[in-house]
Structure 1
Amino acid sequence: MKKVTVGSYRKDKYYPKVVKAITHLLKESDEISPVKIMLQMGNLLPKDYEAWIRGQVPCLERVLHGNLSKASRILRIIGFHAHDLNMIPHQHAYRQRGSKQRQLRFSLSGDSGVEMAYARHFRWNQSHEKKQAMIERILAEQSQEL
């Protein structure tokens, strides 16, 4: 497994895809989450997400496309990139839709660190103008790379 660190995360092959997904989500909202990013990147299909949120799947990792190492790397990149954008982290509780309202699990292991990483959302806490400038800058950088 390739270790993603503060010094290496921008060189990771998933970094451009994560940045693109975050930028797209920030165009629509001031909050991002790993689940929405995974949906945006295509690592999680909407039908699989719906099955998980209804409690039909025991944990989110069962329906993610790719292996758990890839998901772990993406989670770390999300955290590092959100930190670079000065976004504020906060924990979100995912509950099953319907009558039971039980807490949903993300991981097969149930490890608290992994569960917290998936449930951590990030909020934009700066002006709308700064957000627009950041989005435009990132889109320009991505178009130059192509």
Structure 2
Amino acid sequence: MNNQELTKRVHTAMANQCKVRGYTTPVDVLMEIGVLSKANYKNWRHGRGYTGSGLYLYFSKLSLIMHEIRSYAKKNKLKPSFTVYKQWKTKQKIILRFSKHGNPSIEKGYSTHYVDSAQIRVLKCREDPD
């Protein structure tokens, strides 16, 4: 897949997620465009490995995806919201890593969700018409 096609897929995934939920996440974009499998995501959420170990592409393509996520969010005035990912099904609150070495800037990039406040209001109005 060339860079132009990849960019289009990232933007489409983000638009779809914002329309349906009012927000988008890098991990969900990676799954929607087919570079992170649901099985690898679940393994990571259960504390087995890091997300980067389950990706099906080169680092340069991953960097492009992350750049396009930030670009789309900025262009569409999505509000960044830092989120902590914790391991599923443990009594301890174990924080998960996205990268092999836990680089803070990489960790922050992957754990930032982007919120479409206007779409959230629309979705809430649909849920509660009163």
| Normalised-by-shorter TM-score class | 0.7 to 0.9
Root-mean-square deviation (CA, aligned residues, Å) is 2.1
**1:93 corresponding residue in structure 2:** 84
Deviations 1:127-146 (A, max 9, x none): 57999xxxxxxxxxxxxxxx
Alpha-carbon contact 1:61-1:68 (below 8 Å) kept? no
Gaps of 5+ in 1: 1-10, 132-146
Distance, in Å, in 1 between the alignment partners of 2:32 and 2:103 is: 25
TM-score (norm 2): 0.84
Distance, in Å, in 2 between the alignment partners of 1:127 and 1:77 is: 21
2:64 equivalent among 57, 67, 73:
73
TM-score (norm 1): 0.75
Alpha-carbon contact 1:93-1:103 (below 8 Å) kept? yes
Aligned length in residues: 120
Structure 1's consecutive aligned runs of 4 or more residues displaced over 3 angstroms after TM superposition are 127-131
The one of the two structures with greater contact order (alpha-carbon pairs below 8 A, sep at least 6) is 2
Question: Aligned residues: percent identity?
Answer: 23
1:54 to 1:23, Cα distance in 2 relative to 1, 3 A = same
Deviations 1:93-136 (A, max 9, x none): 000001133000001131111110000100002257999xxxxx
1:21 aligns with 2:3: no
Gaps of 5+ in 2: 124-130
Per-residue deviation, 1:13: 4.3
Per-residue deviation, 1:25: 1.1
Alpha-carbon contact 1:53-1:97 (below 8 Å) kept? yes
